[in-house]
Amino acid sequence: MKNKLYIQMFSIHGLLRAENMEMGRNADTGGQIKYVVELGKALSQNDNIKQVDLFTRLIADKTVSEDYSQPVETINDKFRIVRIQCGGKKYIRKELLWPHLDEFVDKTIKFIRQKKLIPDIVHGHYADAGYVASQMAELFGIPFIFTGHSLGRAKKEKLVNAGLTENAIIKKYKIDHRIQIEEEVLKIADLIITSTNQEIKEQYGMYQCNCLPIFSVIPPGLDIDKFYPYYHDILPETDKDEIEMHAQASVREELNRFFMQPDKSLILTICRPDKRKNISGLIKAYGEDKELQSMANLAIFAGIRKDISKKEENEKDVLTEMLLLMDKYDLYGKMAIPKKHSFEYEVPELYRIAAEKKGVFVNAALTEPFGLSLIEAAATGLPTVATNDGGPQDIIKNCKCGILVDPVQTEEISHAIRTIIAETDLWKKYSKNGIINVRKYYIWKNHAKKYIREISKLKTSAVKTNLRIAKPTDPIGRRIIKLKHFIVTDIDNTLTGGDKESLKKLLAILQNNQKSIGFGIATGRTVESAVKHLGKHDIIHPDVIISSVGAELYYGKKLHFSRGWETHISKQWNRAKIKNLLDKFDFLKYQEEDTQRKFKISYYMKPEKDNIARIHAILIKNRCRYNLIYSHDKYLDILPFRASKGKAIRYLSYKWDIPLNNFLVCGDSGNDTEMLKGVSCGVIVGNYSRELESLKGSKNIYFADRQYTGGIMEGLNHYKFIEKTRL
Which residues form the interface with ligand GLC (CB under 6 A)? 524-525, 549, 591, 595, 602, 631, 635, 637, 671
Q: What is the C-alpha radius of gyration for the chain, rounded to an integer number of angstroms? A: 32
Nearer of residues 493 and 680 to Mg ion, judged by Cβ: 493
Cβ–Cβ under 8 Å, residues 19 and 139: no
Nearer of residues 260 and 628 to ligand GLC, judged by Cβ: 628
Residues whose CB is less than 8 angstroms from the CB of residue 275 and which lie 6 or more positions away in sequence, other chains included: 314, 317, 318, 366
Helix/strand/coil percent split, the chain, to 5: 45, 15, 35
User: Residues interacting with Mg ion, by CB under 5 A?
Assistant: 490, 492-493, 668-669
In whole angstroms, the minimum distance from the beta carbon of 191 to Mg ion comes to: 46
Could you tell which of Mg ion, ligand GLC, none binds residue 637, using a CB distance below 5 to 8 A set by kind? ligand GLC
Cβ–Cβ under 8 Å, residues 570 and 561: no
Q: How many CB atoms lie within 10 A of CB 19?
A: 8
Could you tell which of ligand GLC, Mg ion, none binds residue 493, using a CB distance below 5 to 8 A set by kind? Mg ion
CA angle 655, 657, 662 (to 5 degrees): 120
Q: Could you write out the DSSP letters of every residue in 467-515? A: SPBPPPS--HHHHHTT--EEEEE-TBTTTBSS-HHHHHHHHHHHHHTTT
In whole angstroms, the minimum distance from the beta carbon of 538 to ligand GLC comes to: 21
Could you tell which of ligand GLC, Mg ion, none binds residue 687, using a CB distance below 5 to 8 A set by kind? none
Could you tell which of Mg ion, ligand GLC, none binds residue 44, using a CB distance below 5 to 8 A set by kind? none
In whole angstroms, the minimum distance from the beta carbon of 604 to ligand GLC comes to: 8
Crossing angle of helices 152-161/175-188, nearest 10°?
150
In whole angstroms, the minimum distance from the beta carbon of 613 to Mg ion comes to: 25
Phi, psi (rounded to 5 degrees) for 518: -85, 155
In whole angstroms, give the CA distance from residue 553 to residue 565.
7
Could you tell which of Mg ion, ligand GLC, none binds residue 631, using a CB distance below 5 to 8 A set by kind? ligand GLC
Nearer of residues 228 and 688 to Mg ion, judged by Cβ: 688
Nearer of residues 305 and 533 to ligand GLC, judged by Cβ: 533
DSSP annotation of 635: E
Could you tell which of ligand GLC, Mg ion, none binds residue 490, using a CB distance below 5 to 8 A set by kind? Mg ion
In whole angstroms, the minimum distance from the beta carbon of 667 to Mg ion comes to: 6
Length of the chain: 727
CA angle 331, 336, 337 (to 5 degrees): 110
In whole angstroms, the minimum distance from the beta carbon of 672 to Mg ion comes to: 6
Nearer of residues 564 and 670 to ligand GLC, judged by Cβ: 670
Residue nearest to ligand GLC (CB): 524
In whole angstroms, the minimum distance from the beta carbon of 602 to Mg ion comes to: 14
Cβ–Cβ under 8 Å, residues 664 and 672: no
In whole angstroms, the minimum distance from the beta carbon of 19 to ligand GLC comes to: 55
Nearer of residues 36 and 605 to ligand GLC, judged by Cβ: 605
Nearer of residues 138 and 691 to ligand GLC, judged by Cβ: 691
Could you tell which of ligand GLC, Mg ion, none binds residue 499, using a CB distance below 5 to 8 A set by kind? none
Could you tell which of Mg ion, ligand GLC, none binds residue 668, using a CB distance below 5 to 8 A set by kind? Mg ion
Nearer of residues 149 and 597 to ligand GLC, judged by Cβ: 597
Crossing angle of helices 372-380/343-356, nearest 10°?
50
The continuous run of DSSP H or E covering 457 comes out as helix 444-457
